[in-house]
């Protein structure tokens, strides 16, 4: 068994799709908007688990306790890009010499982690 996708319900599908393309580097792998469903699937170029975005204001994420982590080769560069785009990342955290990461939030309030060495 493997993880297929993570679903995020959103108030603004277009803004969320743009975020995951520009900030995370995901590509659209499925777009059901043409068929009348406000659903878009995105995935990294290497494949793996997809992010499913569904526009559904009544179910949009409003809580805490969720974090989605993405690997990056350059934690500092990723943090600079996040700041340049107007987001407020945490400081870089390094609980172990081989692990470095930081957090910020997507347009839906989901905590995003960029992690690398």
Give the per-residue pLDDT at 40: 97
pLDDT, greater one: 102 or 117? 102
Rounded Cα distance, 97 and 110, in Å: 27
Report the percentage of the chain scoring pLDDT > 90. Answer: 77
How much of the chain exceeds pLDDT 70, in percent?
A: 100
Mean pLDDT of 71-83: 96
Helices (H), the chain: 13-22, 75-84
Closest CA to 104 of 116, 94, 81, 117: 81
Decide: 112 and 24 in contact? Cβ < 8 Å: yes
Over residues 27-40, the pLDDT tens digits come to 999 999 888 789 99
Q: All domains of the chain, ordered by start, with CATH?
A: 1-57 (3.10.180.10), 66-117 (3.10.180.10)
């Amino acid at each position: 068994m493997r993880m297929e996708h993570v679903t995020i319900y959103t108030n603004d599908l277009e803004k969320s799709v743009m975020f995951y393309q520009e900030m995370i580097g995901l590509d659209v792998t499925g777009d059901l908007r043409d068929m009348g469903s406000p659903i878009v699937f995105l995935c990294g170029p290497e494949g793996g688990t997809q992010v499913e975005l569904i526009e559904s204001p009544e179910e949009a994420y409003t809580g805490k306790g969720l974090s989605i982590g993405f690997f990056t080769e350059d934690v500092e560069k990723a943090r600079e890009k996040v700041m340049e785009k107007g987001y407020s990342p945490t400081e870089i955290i390094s609980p172990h010499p081989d692990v470095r990461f930081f957090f910020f939030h997507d347009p839906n309030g989901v905590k995003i982690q960029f992690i690398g060495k």
